[in-house]
């Protein structure tokens, strides 16, 4: 656990119970008020390289930038990682290498989220949870059309078929969400290795009742108890 500026956070990544390699990478930059989860694409070669490349690029953002410059630097770092991963894939001749990414940045009482893929940001406010991102996946279209819930989408046979990722395709399009970050808000940044096992109701209960010191460990244990078939990553950020 760490405290910096007006936030407290905890972060943890776990290989899970079925994978030999942890292709997730987490990054906490409290001096920048940036937190990130990258999830290497399962079934592709070198997903761990892709997720680390994203985190390494973001870690190089200079300290002391104003919020607008910091947000642009965050976007530019992810775009730079996209090109690096594409180049690596070409040099290896190994086909597609990629990773999802989701990044949370705080500044002046507001948050910005950037993402590509199906890693997510949630916000708990006044005991109610809200998913702030929208998965880039084939099943997301069913949810947006009102044909199923996000919880049901996680159990769909095509839930892993993402439509956007860093390192995949000529151009990377990052989505953005922004809004107020109020005192008492709690943000969760996580990979799908957690959300496949934790429903909205479960997340709301755990985030509402568990102190910052143990909340991430509890989240990881829920995913492990559910089967832990994927790597699991979670970062919880409390606004003081």
pTM score above 0.85: yes
Report in angstroms the alpha-carbon separations of 216 from 26, 115, 133.
Answer: 13, 21, 20
Name the strands in the sheet holding 175-180, side by side, starting at the edge strand that comes first in the sequence. Answer: 24-29, 34-40, 99-107, 110-116, 175-180
CATH of region 2-239, choose from 3.40.1670.10, 3.90.180.10, 3.30.750.24, 3.60.40.10: 3.60.40.10
- pLDDT per residue as tens, the chain (240 positions): 555 569 999 999 999 999 999 999 999 999 999 999 999 985 566 899 999 999 999 999 999 999 999 999 999 999 999 999 999 999 988 678 999 999 999 999 999 999 999 999 999 999 999 999 999 998 888 898 999 999 988 888 887 789 999 999 999 999 999 999 999 999 999 999 999 999 999 999 999 999 999 999 999 999 999 999 999 999 999 999
Rounded Cα–Cα distance for residues 53 and 70 (Å): 19
Kind of pairing between the strands at 175-180 and 7-14: unpaired
Kind of pairing between the strands at 232-239 and 186-190: antiparallel
Rg (CA), the chain: 17
What 3-state DSSP class applies to 75?
A: helix
């Amino acid at each position: 656990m760490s405290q910096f500026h007006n936030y407290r956070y905890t972060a943890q990544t776990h290989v899970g119970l079925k994978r030999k390699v942890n292709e997730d990478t987490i990054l906490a930059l409290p001096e920048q008020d940036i937190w990130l989860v990258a999830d290497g694409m399962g079934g592709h070669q070198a997903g761990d390289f892709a997720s680390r490349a994203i985190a390494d690029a973001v870690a190089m953002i200079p300290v002391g930038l104003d919020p607008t410059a910091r947000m642009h630097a965050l976007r530019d770092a992810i775009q730079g990682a996209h090109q690096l991963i594409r180049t690596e894939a070409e040099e290896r001749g190994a086909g597609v290498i990629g990773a999802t990414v989701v990044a949370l940045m705080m500044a002046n009482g507001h948050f910005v989220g950037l993402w590509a893929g199906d890693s997510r940001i949630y916000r708990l406010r006044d005991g109610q949870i809200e998913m702030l991102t929208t998965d880039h996946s084939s099943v997301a279209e069913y949810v947006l059309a009102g044909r199923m819930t996000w919880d049901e989408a996680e159990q769909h046979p095509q839930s892993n078929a993402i439509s956007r990722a860093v390192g995949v395709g000529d151009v990377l399009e990052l989505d953005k969400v922004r809004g107020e970050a109020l005192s008492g808000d709690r943000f969760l940044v996580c990979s799908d290795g957690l959300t496949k096992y934790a429903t909205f109701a479960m997340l709301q209960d755990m985030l509402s009742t568990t102190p910052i010191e143990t909340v991430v460990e509890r989240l990881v244990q829920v995913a492990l108890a559910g089967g832990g078939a994927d790597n699991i990553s979670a970062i919880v950020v409390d606004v003081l």
